[in-house]
Structure 1
Amino acid sequence: MDSYQFYPTPPSLARKLCALFETTPTRLLEPSAGAGDLVRAARERFPNLGKNDIDLYEIDPSRHGHLADCGHLVGLDFLESLDLSIYSHVLMNPPFRQGVQHVLHAWTKLFSGEIAAVLNASGVREPATRDEERLAKLIAEHGRVEYASEAFLSPDTLRKTDVEVALVHLRKQKSAEFWSGSILDALGVDDLAEDQTQFAEREPPSPQGMVLSQGQIPAMVRAYRAAWEATKESIIAQHRAARYTSFFEDQVSRILNQDVRSFMKKEIGPLHRDLQSAYAKIRNSAWMAVLNTSDFRKYLTRKAQSEVLADFEQVSRMEFSEPNIYGFLQGFALRQDEINAQMVCDLFDQIVYANSENCLFYRWKSNAKHQIGMALQRKRFILSGFSLEGWRSTIGYDAQQKLQEIDRITALVTGQREIQDTLAGLFSTHLSELRYGKRLGNRYFDVRWYPGIGTVHFFPKDQKLIDRINAIVGKHRRWMPEHFAAEADDKAIDKAYKAAELVSKAILEKVDPWTLPQILSSRHSESDKREAVQKLQSAFDEAVAYGGEENFWTQIARIEARPRPATKPAKASTPEERQRALALALA
């Protein structure tokens, strides 16, 4: 059963409907986009109409992915839209059951412009309901209608039906008195009197703010609507003033016998374009307020913020309504685990990118393929970018951000919303002591600062914190088995790290310093990354050939699962035997 009554508009009918428009669209709305057939016909007829000039509603979410190239999706149910004043044209083939309601809604919410719609002919030819009678009156006063009996039986129709359709065109315009005309004739010269307007010496008191007792989201939507209505009225008033001012300009030009418009007239663009520009700014600001109100920035790393904002650019084109806001927040909540894991990876990359000595290497075999992975050193890692210029009394903004991100990830990994004794706070309150070499710390890290070379050495107090970070990164990037338990036996973990330190030292001696940055940084091409991974694999193979342990995570699992061997292994003679012998000895 088709609950959405989806009947794709045949291309021939779509072209005929677009031909009803009497002016060129500057901003087009398609309230029931379906498969995008009407939009394609409109862009064919009006080549200057680009994707950014078209907004879409589509109630069926399964069709949203196919509409990406047609325009910007701004909502689901067109009948819930509140204001259409930014549009110059509305083009629609609505569900027949609600066709008349769609056209009346468009007419009511449109400020001025044209509407072209495909409707069931029976309700237009013989109106039986109050809505149909209202539409018939609008057509008689503001438009025209054409009928087509076999529009959905043409060869280019995907879903055929023998229903007769009506092609309705309406044009909504403001009266001549509203825009221009002779003010003196409209009012009558004899009726004019001296202007008695008085202006108050003081401005009226400003509002005290909106009450949020009914919830932040409804209050924000109310504030948004109020802001838009005030802005819209202001823009319309400017355009009306410009039209009326032109009357006086014409009169002065005739008296002086010269054009004075350049001295008196303020340049004002097309009304719909000015409305659209202002609407986009207010809507974007409203969506940004959703992020700020929800404390997104406080708990996201800088890279996570930028990725959310990249997706948010598309979200911010949606109509600012309660259903859309709740939908956005629900989608964000569903992605929270993925975003959290990515934030841990961001910090991991920052630490490894800063200094290759911060990193350990390991490898495990999956599907007959060796997967190479990385882990942070448990005892110490080093970050740069903490130099202190002579005139400064605090560390720089970027340095503060690095510390704050370590604090954020520490809170995330330890299951807290935020930690109390932060590293950022430590540098704020004890800068002088740290500057002169004193080793200080919080609950999770000791730090030692070398401002001359601009590095800070971080010494984890709880090595399980680093183990959790390594496990999150390893699983997220498929560097290790998903079933691996981060909380393993301490002695086994220690032994595994010692083995990894030996092989990692050998690997770092065999690769150039650009290998890790090429793998981790998004600025490098995929071919550069593949080449760097191959270098790392070759160095790993060479290090393992001389007896290094290649898989310390699997080694931990082996320690947990298998009993210790009763006898020592025999001395190995080949590289493969030496590798197996070393693994058994460490076990």
Structure 2
Amino acid sequence: MTDPYQYYPTPEALSRKAWAMFKNQQFARVLEPSAGEGHLLRPGPYQYGKRLPIDCIEIDIRKHAVLRDEGYAVVGMDFLQFQSGSVYSHVIMNPPFADGAKHVLKAWEILFDGEIVAILNAETVRNPFSKERQLLLRLIEQHGEVEFLQEMFAGEDAERKTPVDVALVWLKKTSTFEQDILGSILDDLRQDRLEADDLAGEFHLPHELALPNAFIDNAVLMFNAAVEAARQAVVSEARASRYRTMLGKTLGELSGGGISSEDDSSSDAVKRTLFKRYRDLKNRAWASILRSTQVTSRLSSTAQKRLESDFEAVKSLEFTVPNIYGFLQGIIDQQGKIQLSMVCDVFDLITRYHSDNTVFYMGWKSNDKHRALGMRIKTTRFVIPGHATESYQNDLSWESQRMLADFDKVFAMLDGKYEAAVGLESVFRNHFHALRTGQRISGSYFDVRYYPGVGTIHFFPTNKALIDRMNRLVGNHRRWLPPAETKTGNGFWQQFDQAEKLDKAFRTEVSKHGKRDGRRYHFDPFWAVKYGDESERERGNAMLTQAMSTVLANHGIDPDSLLDSDQYGIRQLDWDGLPDSHLTLAS
């Protein structure tokens, strides 16, 4: 099978030779543009007892996780589209042999001031038949050197062997850095009579870009402008530092009473400063994408945190239009998973704290070791504690408001709408005083009552079908409900539908085995299945399952019966059964 990426991991001996070829062993920032799984980087140097920070580019996305696990930052996928080279002092590379010249020329183009070491097919240098190879040969003659090596990919340490000879190329690119910093001293001195107003005369606030249909393109343009402004600022600061040093010390410094200001305008120092500012700008730019899309406005707070956790890896990528669309496409591809996780988050919040919020039913019998009970949220009322306020407060806490906003997003999504017409968050914001005095206020999906002293909010569902939809989605996901292809008998769905009616009898049956005995309580199975260790959960689940079996038998219900013919219909509900409620992205 042909390897589309021409992946030949660099043998350790060749990697060490490549690193040793750098003349300047003071590494400010290193780039590896064809990183593979990081073989070339493993002999890389350490500074202050820590591995040197290295940025990687790798076109095969399957290798990104390996690189990140090794501690490298993945900043791009296609090096030939990469632009942010000015922050690097060194580039080390083992590019695809067929395109070696093109990759070295790209590195030379984007590098501001620094060294390049490249492992190439020897024929790339020996046989300069193309314009790219001819240009590379001229660069080597004028700015570098080359060493030819034999059988480096044929030794025992070669993971993928090939008899090809290699050319180890070194190039040094020197910028007009000193001239950029110092400028023309005489020209600058002629400006010393300018007034303060003249000095600020060319400064104007930048115009805002207001093109909503080109948000991503404008974000990249703004980012590039910010990077260029930062570059100019860093160079200007370095010039100022150099001038200050040329003027000499202050009287306070000469007499030992002042703090001496050191000149930090070297090329490596400027690169470190520029990289720090570049990284900050890139973090801000990616965050603006994450928080400006219509996707995030419809994510619950927990789903947002999960996305931001994944975002830590994404934000290391170069901030370009293709990378942004790739990130957003990944969100689209996962939208069903994201939405289902949001439903489960709210379900777990409702069922976590208050035992009266939940009723139980017999979960479907499967091949699992232990049969489990399923849980349903009550369609009549449920209570959420932990939201107390003082008499002087005019609104709920920020955390409580986030919870209500999550409810609004999830139930609007279950209803196939982008947002609730009258959300819980707006109900509390607009009617907080009335709620504090005990009034019952209506929103789109719930009536609510609030008890500020004890901090409980009572929810009365106005659309029981949405609660049922949530119960079925979570039941399917957690395998409490039977698989869609199973021909389930009426007994299972009878006990599922009547769970609230059977709840009192079920809890009475459970209490027979958990009555108080003197000063101690017997084993509490409800607590055990939520908070116990593995053995306690198994014991608790067995007790609850037995109690439910007894109740169902007393009511003549067999949850395990199967149909002879397919009468199952659409009693189950998976995510595809929901009304349209899609995550959408900014154009």
When the two structures are superposed, what TM-score results if normalisation uses the length of structure 1?
0.83
3-state SS of paired residue (2:376)? strand
Kept in 2: contact 1:496–1:553 (CA 8 A): no
CA shift in 2, pair 1:400/1:69, >3 Å: closer
Q: In the aligned structure 2, how far is the partner of 1:165 from the partner of 1:468?
A: 64
Give the 5 Å matches for 1:341-490. Answer: 341-362=340-361, 363-367=363-367, 369-483=370-484
Partner of 1:231: 230
CA shift in 2, pair 1:390/1:282, >3 Å: same
CA shift in 2, pair 1:127/1:482, >3 Å: same
Give the 5 Å matches for 1:185-196. Answer: 195-196=192-193
Q: In the aligned structure 2, how far is the partner of 1:365 from the partner of 1:72?
A: 47
Kept in 2: contact 1:496–1:552 (CA 8 A): no
CA shift in 2, pair 1:512/1:350, >3 Å: farther
- State the aligned residue count: 548
CA shift in 2, pair 1:101/1:451, >3 Å: same
Question: Runs of 5+ in structure 2 lacking a partner?
Answer: 515-520, 568-587
CA shift in 2, pair 1:33/1:264, >3 Å: closer
Deviation of the 1:298 alpha carbon: 2.3
> Given the alignment, which residue of 539, 542, 558 partners 2:543?
539
Kept in 2: contact 1:360–1:504 (CA 8 A): no
CA shift in 2, pair 1:278/1:560, >3 Å: farther
One-letter code aligned to 1:146: E
Partner of 2:534: 530
CA shift in 2, pair 1:75/1:286, >3 Å: same
Deviations 1:163-208 (A, max 9, x none): 2221111223345743788x9xx8689x975734354376744232
Q: In the aligned structure 2, how far is the partner of 1:243 from the partner of 1:153?
A: 51
CA shift in 2, pair 1:312/1:549, >3 Å: farther
Q: In the aligned structure 1, how far is the partner of 2:38 from the partner of 2:556?
A: 54
When the two structures are superposed, what TM-score results if normalisation uses the length of structure 2?
0.83
Kept in 2: contact 1:94–1:102 (CA 8 A): yes
1:26 correspondence with 2:28? yes
Q: In the aligned structure 2, how far is the partner of 1:450 from the partner of 1:256?
A: 67
Partner of 1:67: 67
One-letter code aligned to 1:315: V
3-state SS of paired residue (2:403)? helix
Kept in 1: contact 2:420–2:444 (CA 8 A): no
CA shift in 2, pair 1:454/1:513, >3 Å: farther
Q: Give the structure, 1 or 2, with the largest relative contact order (CA under 8 Å, sep 6 or more).
A: 2
One-letter code aligned to 1:435: R
1:497 correspondence with 2:500? yes
Q: In the aligned structure 1, how far is the partner of 2:59 from the partner of 2:416?
A: 39
Partner of 1:581: none
Kept in 2: contact 1:353–1:517 (CA 8 A): no
Partner of 1:262: 259
Q: In the aligned structure 1, how far is the partner of 2:256 from the partner of 2:171?
A: 38
Kept in 2: contact 1:496–1:555 (CA 8 A): no
Deviation of the 1:304 alpha carbon: 0.9
Deviation of the 1:441 alpha carbon: 1.4
CA shift in 2, pair 1:163/1:424, >3 Å: same
Deviation of the 1:317 alpha carbon: 0.9
Partner of 2:517: none
Q: In the aligned structure 1, how far is the partner of 2:552 from the partner of 2:176?
A: 87
Q: In the aligned structure 2, how far is the partner of 1:517 from the partner of 1:270?
A: 59
Deviation of the 1:408 alpha carbon: 1.2
CA shift in 2, pair 1:327/1:427, >3 Å: same
Kept in 2: contact 1:492–1:559 (CA 8 A): no
CA shift in 2, pair 1:126/1:197, >3 Å: farther
3-state SS of paired residue (2:498)? helix
Kept in 2: contact 1:179–1:244 (CA 8 A): no
Q: In the aligned structure 2, how far is the partner of 1:553 from the partner of 1:303?
A: 39
One-letter code aligned to 2:412: A
Deviation of the 1:160 alpha carbon: 2.6
Question: Runs of 5+ in structure 1 lacking a partner?
Answer: 564-587
One-letter code aligned to 2:276: S
Kept in 1: contact 2:528–2:540 (CA 8 A): no
Q: In terms of mean alpha carbon deviation, does 129-138 or 86-95 score higher?
A: 129-138
Deviation of the 1:155 alpha carbon: 2.5
Q: In the aligned structure 2, how far is the partner of 1:303 from the partner of 1:432?
A: 29
Kept in 1: contact 2:359–2:499 (CA 8 A): no
Partner of 2:218: 219
Alpha-carbon RMSD: 3.6
CA shift in 2, pair 1:302/1:399, >3 Å: same
CA shift in 2, pair 1:334/1:193, >3 Å: closer
3-state SS of paired residue (2:248)? helix
Give the 5 Å matches for 1:20-419. Answer: 20-22=21-23, 23-43=25-45, 48=49, 50=51, 53-70=53-70, 71-175=72-176, 177-178=178-179, 195-198=192-195, 199-200=197-198, 204-212=203-211, 215-249=214-248, 262-265=259-262, 270-362=269-361, 363-367=363-367, 369-419=370-420
One-letter code aligned to 2:79: F
One-letter code aligned to 1:408: K
Kept in 1: contact 2:34–2:95 (CA 8 A): yes
